[in-house]
Structure 1
Amino acid sequence: MAAPRSVYACDPDRSRGRQFVEAPSRTRSPFRRDCDRVIHSTAFRRLKHKTQVFVFHEGDHYRTRLTHSLEVAQIARALARQLGLDEDLTETLALAHDLGHPPFGHAGERALDACLRGHGGFDHNAHTLRVVTSLEHRYPEFDGLNLTWESLEGIVKHNGPLTARDGSPLGRYREHGIPVGIAEFVVAYDLELWSFASLEAQIAAIADDIAYDAHDIDDGLRAGLFQIDDLKEIPVTAAIIAEIDAQYSGLDESRRGAELVRELISHLIGAVVLEAHRRLALVRPASAEDVRHQNEALIAFPDETREAEAAIKAFLKVRMYRHERVMRVMRDAEQLVSDLFARYQGDPATLPAEWLPPESRSEDEAGRARRIGNFIAGMTDRFALTEHQRLFDSTPDLR
């Protein structure tokens, strides 16, 4: 049952608006409109053929970026409903959070970051912002999707503030600074990088973690990288497995695994809701703006669950992400992306006509490199493979 609307929920009627002024919709709230624009975007459709862990042709049953995003949205809406938050904004951020991922998952991101190291690097959150503010070309009066301020804020800050109040970078941005795509955008349209994002954005972030943990276990089991009983080395999954075995003696492995995934998701959602209520009761925010000015995230795992969730990630890192079968394919994928970048940079005429700069516009080396990076980042796995086959005599099989 849905909780009553909370005072600290983002109110679509009080949105800070859009970068380019538009007449309001007669039938949809601003946040519902944002979500619909994400769903109808070209970048969202491309997620169907972008790697999560397994490359698309390894099997139809493994997650892709698209199915992952849909699962994140389902979990995020469940959390938002229980906390009385705006479900449309939450869904927008859940569905949009991976729009900036390049082909071949984190392997593609590592390769592009290396290729662009001398020109600001590559950051998938920054590229998501670039997609929704400039690279989508669907509307006659502006580039991008012209999402509300709240949606843009959530895309950029769902994992927390990027800077201190004085503008100095925080966390993983301390070493290399704020990604160029974000730094350039906020000069013209301030997203207040020093503050926390809304609770809706914080929920989208933690729903991403829950979905990762659950569906990577599911995909790892399906791929035969580990067995259900191997997960007994993690206390939280061991307890769930024991309950399943006690209730369903002799259950086949397929259903046993599905029940484990289902119960794990329920366990993690319940833990987040309890911790959110505890933190909200302590600080008593009176508005969404109060949430932004807190000193910590208000949506989080309780300490015990955070340790359990970290143990799941540690298990998956060793048994799945670093498995030689996965690593071999990802090494080949990194090389493929690097090959494409070098070829386009050395011979720009090999780019499609629509990705060549207008003859009237001069372009420096950094601008050309970022344009090539934008093109590659938008590729699906299979289009990247097709391009490599077009441009090179030998292309890795990625199996």
Structure 2
Amino acid sequence: MDPLDLYDDSARERVVDEPPKRVDAPVRTPFERDRARVVHAAASRRLAAKTQVVGPQTDDFTRNRLTHSLEVAQVARDLSRALGSAPDLAETAALAHDLGHPPFGHNGERVLADLSEECGGFEGNAQTLRLLTRLESKTFDADGRSVGLNLTRATLDACTKYPWPRGSGPDPAKFGVYADDEPVFTWLRKDAPPARRCLEAQVMDLADDVAYSVHDVEDGTVAGRIDLTALDQPAVWATVRAWYLPDATDDELDHVLAGLRTQGSWPTTPYDASRRSLAALKNLTSDLVGRFCGAVQHATLESGEGPFVRYARDLVVPEETRLEMAVLKGIAAHYVMEAPDRLAAMELERELLAELVAILAFRAPGALERPFADDWDAAGDDAARLRVVIDQVASLTDASAVAWHTRLRRRA
């Protein structure tokens, strides 16, 4: 069966109906059209200059948000195809999953969250939905309102990692929609079980975890920050508990690491930057991605009959796989994100973003780009105007945030 036959007309519906533009155009499925729209979006291009773990300007090897998103998309597409769902859906969700991230990655996200309390907070995933359905210019409705890229219901749902408003989910800091975007959220969640992610969103989230856990360790190793043959396990385990697994014991984490070390490509000698060492590291990366995705694929297919689409089934992530990914993420967090030089840089980034928000709020709308200046003029109160400033700052890359800050301070 063609996977597309498993998605009904409601899944393919758009806020604004759009028939094919030309009868002689290549025949594309609705989900292929969605993928193309995300690929060509300005927000996608900006990911190339946004921090993944360390700033994209640090060296030529380190991943940025765009290269990370491409890798997540590849993992998501392969897993989706193996499960029999529509690969374009999971791939598009993966390509879009970080579009809402502001300058300086999660560090910048925390700053904007603190500064936007008066207008409902900030969350990268909620900002992604706002970009896809409002801020990216592609389609307008009959009343002249932007509907963003006008993606299908199924694609928007697949992009929704946290399908609930602020304060309604298990983690108060994680949510998928701002209050003024709830109308489109209600539309895309038509007939969806409350607070439940569709399978395609689960695939996207798992692919993100796989890429995050494996590739951050690879980047940290090449940067000379991580030596997988000489881990300071007590210190790393403290970071794992602080960031990911608060209840894990040293014995449990020792057992998980011992399991990872049974992978045949796990290094036995330190990385030395030679071609042979680079190849060995790349083989480890490939093997770990296969290890995690294979375990999830097997567990999911063994969980019951398909089809593995939308809300018919859920993705099954074995506990051992979840723990192994958390250990790898903890290794990267300890040696990279908690490194003294990185902590110092992050403090400067927070100060810069806070000052930039304050300056723009004071000088708006004149200091804003035209689309955001128009939004400012249309805003009905101070909270709505603050949201516009946050939208503007979130749209910037790391380098443009620094440039804007320097330019606007110079004019003070």
Q: Is the TM value for this pair above 0.5?
A: yes
> Could you say if the C-alpha distance between residues 129 and 95 of structure 1 is closer, same or farther in structure 2, counting changes exceeding 3 Å?
same
How far residue 77 of structure 1 moved from its aligned partner, in angstroms, is 1.1
Judging changes above 3 Å, is the alpha-carbon distance between structure 1 residues 189 and 68 closer, same or farther for their aligned structure 2 residues?
Answer: closer
Matched, 1:254 2:278: yes
Is the aligned partner of 1:17 residue 2:40? no
CA contact (8 A) 1:162 1:173 kept: no
Matched, 1:329 2:328: no
- The aligned counterpart of 1:310 is 326
Q: Hey, what does 1:169 align to over in structure 2?
A: 168
Cα distance change, pair 367–212 in 1 and its aligned pair in 2 (3 A):
same
Query: Which residue of 2 is the match for residue 397 of structure 1?
Result: none
Partner residue in 2 for 1:89 = 89
Matches within 5 A, 1:23-38: 23-24=19-20, 27-38=27-38
* Equivalent in the alignment of 2:70: 70
Query: Quick check: 2:102–2:395 contact (8 Å CA) kept in 1?
Result: yes
Q: Which residue of 1 aligns with 2:152?
A: 148
8 Å CA contact retained: 1:130, 1:181: no
Measure, in 1, the Cα distance between the counterparts of 2:339 and 2:264: 24
CA distance in 2, matches of 1:270, 1:367: 46
1:263 aligns with 2:294: no
Question: Does the aligned pair in 1 maintain the 2:295–2:318 contact within 8 Å?
Answer: yes
Contact (CA 8 Å) 2:199, 2:311: kept in 1 or not? no
**Cα shift at 1:353:** 4.2
Instruction: Map Cα deviations across residues 167-202 of structure 1 (whole Å, 9 max, x no partner).
Output: 982211389996435535335654547153332221
Alignment of 1:211-226 (within 5 A): 211-226=211-226
How far did 1:301 drift?
A: 2.1
Task: Name the CA distance, whole Å, in 2 between partners of 1:207 and 1:374.
Answer: 27
Asked if residue 276 in structure 1 is aligned to residue 300 in structure 2, the reply is yes
Change (3 A) 1:107 1:10: farther
SS at match of 1:73: helix
Partner of 2:393: 376
Question: What secondary structure sits across from 1:22 in the alignment?
Answer: coil
Paired with 1:144 and 1:177, the residues of 2 have a C-alpha distance of 17
CA contact (8 A) 1:231 1:238 kept: no
Which runs of structure 2 are paired with 1:345-384 in the superposition (5 Å)? 345-348=361-364, 349-357=366-374, 361=378, 363-384=380-401
Cα distance, 1:256–1:148 mapped onto 2, change above 3 Å: same
Percent of pairs with identical residues: 33
Question: Compared with structure 1, are the counterparts of its residues 331 and 11 closer, same or farther at alpha carbon in structure 2 (3 Å cutoff)?
Answer: same
Q: How much does 1:134 deviate?
A: 0.8
| Residue in structure 2 matched with residue 200 of structure 1 by the alignment | 200
Query: How far did 1:285 drift?
Result: 4.8
What residue is the counterpart of 1:131 in the other structure? 131
Per the TM alignment, residue 211 of structure 1 is displaced from its structure 2 partner at its CA by: 0.4
Tell me by how many angstroms 1:256 deviates. Answer: 2.5
1:91-130 to 2 correspondences below 5 Å: 91-130=91-130
What SS class does the counterpart of residue 356 from structure 1 fall into?
A: helix
One-letter code aligned to 1:263: D
**1:352 deviation in Å?**
3.3
In structure 1, the partner of 2:240 is: none
CA distance in 2 between counterparts of 1:14 and 1:287 reads 17
Residue deviations 1:35-93 (CA, integer Å, cap 9, x gap): 00000111111111111011121112111110000000111111112111111111111
List alignment gaps of at least 5 residues for structure 1: 395-399
Distance 1:168 1:228 in 2: 39
Q: Counterpart of 2:230 in 1: which secondary structure?
A: helix
CA distance in 2, matches of 1:370, 1:126: 12
After superposition, what is the alpha-carbon deviation per residue over 1:235-255, rounded to whole angstroms, capped at 9, x for unaligned?
A: 243222666659xxx984322
Q: CA deviation at 1:287?
A: 7.2
Please list every run of 5 or more consecutive structure 2 residues that lacks an aligned counterpart in the other structure: 234-256
Deviation at 1:226?
1.4
Normalised TM-score (structure 1)? 0.84
> TM-score, normalised on structure 2?
0.82
Q: Secondary structure at the match of 1:254?
A: helix
Counterpart-to-counterpart distance in 1, 2:389 and 2:309? 39
Which amino acid counterpart does residue 100 of structure 1 have in structure 2?
G
Instruction: Give yes or no for contact 1:77–1:90 (8 Å, CA) kept in 2.
Output: yes
Does the 8 Å CA contact 2:375/2:388 hold for their aligned counterparts? no
User: Aligned to 2:336, which of 294, 302, 320?
Assistant: 320
8 A contact 1:5–1:85 mirrored in 2 = no
The amino acid of 2:397's aligned partner reads T
Shift of residue 341 of structure 1?
0.2
Change (3 A) 1:196 1:390: same
Q: Counterpart in 2 of 1:238?
A: 261
Q: Which has the higher contact order (CA 8 A, sep 6+)?
A: 1
